[in-house]
Structure 1
Amino acid sequence: MAMLLATILDPRCKRTHGWPNELRERVKVELKVQYDEIKPQNNTQPEENFSNNNSSIDRFHAYIFGPQVIEENEDTEFDNYFRTPQASYDTNPFQWWQNNKDSFPVLYELARKYLCIPATSVPSERLFSDAGNQICEERNRLKASTVTELLFLKRNSEYFNVFK
């Protein structure tokens, strides 16, 4: 799931074209759960607008209409991230998050968590091993893009139900 969360937090890939709808929604739900865990809890009471001038008309309006409550639309950060245009392919995702951390502070923290370099070389060694298994004497004329797609499917087959 970590790799899928990293993919959806990459501003170049957040639209997740080609993903089954069920997988896309499952990843968004998991991201929302983690977002809600990090999101600062706003335990303050709603802001009330009262006039400093306590004239009789103001007291009358407050009695009839009640206090004016300003409600904030929660989760705008989460929703706005998916509404913003997808970044171009040559965009540096780390620079994009650095530039947009004020707009998406909670998602910025999640991006820092998931868009990091793995601490070990095991995943890359597995990938090289898989590449060696894909390219052999019988398959030595595959295009680089085809090998890339085969390796992607191999590493992500459990999420796409391709080989089952």
Structure 2
Amino acid sequence: GSAEEQKLECEAGNPNAKDWHDEAMKIVEETMTEYWEQMKPSTTSKPPANSPNEHSKRPLESDFDRLRQEHLLQATVRTDNGGWKPELWRYLTDIPKDISKEMDIVAWWAAHSDDYPTLLRIAMDICAIPATSVPCEQLFSAGAEIATNRHSCLGANRFEQLQILKHAW
């Protein structure tokens, strides 16, 4: 909902009505600020990436992660024209012509990585979350395969046993 919808809800007697658009924008702005601050180049001189001192700060970081971090830092420096706000404004106001329901969102972000580097980092973190990673969700979804009309005479106990076996298997 918008501010108008919030006002109508309040007038209808809902004291807990929210402007969800405003709430979402606050979260996006807080997240943009957080990601921008993480990637903001420091004003102090930085030792070369291959120096032992730099490697000892993050010993578990792979070469890929270090190179990715450097690339993201360079992208941030290239687009540092007033912080994250112009980037977010461009993203919200530009209407790309290459958008469709069937498009590959990861490919789109790869193609627009230089245009929206901060939003890209957020998208990479969000897109990396699997849709059904929790075992109980997978188990619940798998239950539909067992609970069919053909298996309706199994009974609750047998159904539970099959679910447990299927999960453990």
Q: Same fold (TM over 0.5)?
A: no
Greater helix percent: which structure?
2
The TM-score normalised by the length of structure 2 is 0.40
